Amino acid sequence: MPTRHRATSHLLRVSLVFMTLGFIFSACTASSPTEATLQATATQPLPTASPVPPSPTPRPTKVPIPTVTPTPELSPEVRATSVEQVVGKWTMYLAGGGEGDPAVLALAADGTFSMDAIGGYHKGMNLGFGTFRFEDDNLVLESDNCDGISGIFTCTATYRVYLSMVGDEPGALRFTVIDDPHIDRKDSLNKKILFAFVE
């Protein structure tokens, strides 16, 4: 009897193991997709997102086209040797401590000159005045109010001046320094072309 009981008990255990394995196998098989299920899923259309209305195309911003003032066509340079050739108002830019501000050099028929800023930090300021003349074909500027590191002083400057015409009118002056103790004025005039000032 004990042997028989052991055999039955063993048989029960083996049956129980097979049943358990059968349940596990059937559970695994049920949760795994079959080939037919995979094919059916593959043929179904993918869900699509609802269409988004296109955003309006931005219109290009109109950029104003700057008006370019054409550089006047200048005649070849000639050496200026008389007051009459250089009389007028001439545009310039202040060098040295002038920060590149625009200014006007006015050379009057009575032999007086004035330098006045017309823009930037120095706008409205007079930056020098005095008299001018020609000596040995060179322009001589004389002033009692030259401004320098040591204060206001009397100074005389000498330049060669070259004139270019626009048609029948003086169009530009080019200055080359011979001597000018007023450093900022020298930096503003030397090797610079000053065009006729248009008001």
User: Pick from 143, 147, 84, 81: which is nearest to 114 by CA?
Assistant: 143
pLDDT for the residue numbered 36 = 52
Token reading at 61:
């911003």
Mean pLDDT for 20-24 is 54
Beta-carbon contacts of residue 29 (< 8 Å; ≥ 6 apart): none
Q: Please choose, from the candidates 152, 115, 107, the residue with its C-alpha nearest in 3D space to the C-alpha of residue 132.
A: 107
Residue whose entry in the numeric block shows the structure tokens 């032999």: 111
pLDDT exceeds 90 at position 146? no
pLDDT in tens, 119-129: 999 999 999 99
pLDDT tens, 127-137? 999 999 999 99
Q: pLDDT (tens digit, 9 = 90+) per residue, 41-100?
A: 555 555 555 565 666 666 656 655 655 556 668 999 999 999 999 999 999 999 977 688
Do residues 77 and 86 lie in contact, with contact meaning Cβ atoms separated by under 8 Å? no
Interval 104-114: pLDDT, tens: 999 999 999 99
pLDDT beyond 60 at 191 = yes
Burial (CB count <10 Å: 0-12, 13-18, 19+), residue 109: exposed
**Is domain 78-195 in CATH 1.10.3470, yes or no?**
no
Region 5-29 average pLDDT: 53
pLDDT at 96: 76
- Name the burial class of residue 120, with classes exposed (0-12), middle (13-18) and buried (19+) by CB atoms within 10 angstroms of its CB: middle
